[in-house]
Amino acid sequence: MNLKVDLIRADELGDGERAVWRSFVAADKAYDSPFFWPDFTEIAGQVVPDARVAVFHRDGQIVGFFPYQMRGRAAQPLAAPMNDYHGLILAPGQQRPLLAAIPGFLQAETLRVNGWVPADYGGPNAQVLMASLPDGWDAYFAERMQSHTKFFKDKERARRSLARDRGGEVWTEVDVRDPARLDELIAWKRDQYQRTGRHDVFACGWTVDVLKALMAADRPDFGAALAILWAGDRPAALEFSLYGGSRYHFWFPSYAADAARCSPGILLSQDTMRLKAPEGFSVFDFGFAGEFYKKYFCNKEDWVTEKVVYRSAWRKMAHTALDRVSVGPAKALTGSLRRRWAVVEACETTTVGRLRGAASSAAAGLDRLASHSQSGAA
């Protein structure tokens, strides 16, 4: 029998449905990330605009879920652009529908994903990195020190330099649920977005509400909290992370500008792992590959799909045609603008907000293209 799909509001999930969802997550290692837990959807779905859940049935039984949000006729993973991992959460043994079929199930024209699990090898695919600690922190760190001695010794020198610069002890505090500290982190991130020309994901308001709701809803095996690297009497780095079961997901890091030369964010990640591993966390998820330091911590990798899926053939043809005619810097600009627009579309729920965000993103993209052209001419 074909799949039957009910599209409901996120807050309409009942206790029975959440229990079924938890059983699916527990049965498949692919769903280890806390982004797949029903708790994430239940909490975030209370504040995300147009939050919905697709409930899949076969032969009268629930066989899957997909939490998402609508932006016009576009479907996106719930809480995008902050949702790092997403996909259909299916019962064991269920045949997985093709990614190309999902927009039709959701009655959407497009589906935009950046961390689809499992990876659709029609691509494009992106690498994600994790630190696996099956034997605990001491065994893990001994192996890392042996493999990357210079890197970790350099970081201990940086720790001593930070203590001298700040005139006080350097230490780390975890499991912090202080709204004022979260506000401080968000202020640092917003300043970073402005300096780098990226769209401010927190300007829309609801994204801040999601983090605050997750932090307030601490549960026995799921939640979110801050870690703080203190140097003297002030934070040198802050990170907001999400956790579920044995997996700890590093999510929003930032650091004080005056501490930048001492790698405070790296020191905070290392300390967080050391302090949280004894509590039963055996996988620390560093997210997408790219930043140089992650290779020194991570001993495990996986792949996810970043893609726009079109329901209609003509939309897909237009998208493909633009890629084919773009070459060189123009091709890079096209890709950059698409990624920037994806963030704007996910965050902004009003036409005015989207127009403002699109104009800002286009200006930033053109500035980058101009800089590339000038450096090439030089």
Other C-beta atoms lying within 10 Å of the C-beta of residue 242: 25
119, two tokens? 């990876």
**Domain-terminating residue out of 270, 304, 338:** 304
The reported pLDDT for the residue numbered 333 is: 44
The reported pLDDT for the residue numbered 197 is: 85
Q: Which helix (H) or strand (E) holds 156?
A: helix 149-166
Do 158 and 240 lie in a common domain? yes
Contact 172, 227 (CB under 8 A): yes
**Which of 18-32, 47-61, 255-269, 360-374 has the least mean pLDDT?**
360-374
Sign of CA dihedral 144, 147, 149, 154: negative
Q: 41 pLDDT exceeds 80? A: yes
Contact 127, 301 (CB under 8 A): yes
Do 196 and 249 lie in a common domain? yes
Cα gap 345→350, rounded to integer Å: 9
For residue 369, tell me if it sits in a domain. Answer: yes
For residue 64, tell me if it sits in a domain. Answer: yes
Contacts made by residues 27-30, CB under 8 angstroms, sequence distance 24+:
27/91, 27/92, 28/90, 28/92, 30/87, 30/117, 30/118
Do 260 and 360 lie in a common domain? no
For residue 222, tell me if it sits in a domain. Answer: yes
Do 173 and 289 lie in a common domain? yes
For residue 276, tell me if it sits in a domain. Answer: yes
Cα gap 177→187, rounded to integer Å: 16
266, two tokens? 């790296």
Which of residues 101 and 321 earns the better pLDDT score? 101
Do 217 and 169 lie in a common domain? yes
Do 164 and 244 lie in a common domain? yes
The arithmetic mean of pLDDT across residues 285-292, rounded, is 95
Residue 358's pLDDT band, with cuts at 50, 70 and 90, is low
Residue 374's pLDDT band, with cuts at 50, 70 and 90, is low
Do 244 and 323 lie in a common domain? no
Do 114 and 67 lie in a common domain? yes
**Domain-terminating residue out of 118, 142, 164:** 118
Do 100 and 141 lie in a common domain? no
The CATH number given to whatever domain includes residue 244 is 3.40.630.30
Cα angle 273, 78, 343; round to 5: 85
The reported pLDDT for the residue numbered 102 is: 95
Do 89 and 158 lie in a common domain? no
**Reduced 3-state DSSP string for 44-78:** HCCCCCCEEEEEEEECCEEEEEEEEEEECCEEEEC
**Domain-terminating residue out of 77, 98, 118:** 118
Residue with structure tokens 């930048």? 260
The reported pLDDT for the residue numbered 378 is: 46
pLDDT digits (tens, 9 = 90+) for 22-37: 999 999 999 999 999 9
Mean pLDDT of the chain: 89
For residue 229, tell me if it sits in a domain. Answer: yes
- E strands along 206-350, which residues? 222-231, 234-244, 247-255, 283-288, 300-310
The CATH number given to whatever domain includes residue 110 is 3.40.630
Cα gap 11→15, rounded to integer Å: 11
Cα gap 227→168, rounded to integer Å: 18
Q: 334 pLDDT exceeds 80? A: no
For residue 283, tell me if it sits in a domain. Answer: yes
pLDDT digits (tens, 9 = 90+) for 179-209: 999 999 999 999 999 988 888 999 999 999 9
The reported pLDDT for the residue numbered 313 is: 61
73, two tokens? 């006729």
3-state SS assignment for residue 308: strand
Range of the domain at 356: 318-377
Residue 9's pLDDT band, with cuts at 50, 70 and 90, is very high
Length of the chain (residues): 378
Residue 361's pLDDT band, with cuts at 50, 70 and 90, is low
Work out how many domains the chain is built from and give that number.
3
For residue 311, tell me if it sits in a domain. Answer: no
Do 276 and 345 lie in a common domain? no
For residue 310, tell me if it sits in a domain. Answer: no
65 bridge partner residues:
55, 89
Do 77 and 194 lie in a common domain? no
219 bridge partner residues:
222
The reported pLDDT for the residue numbered 311 is: 87
Residue 351's pLDDT band, with cuts at 50, 70 and 90, is confident
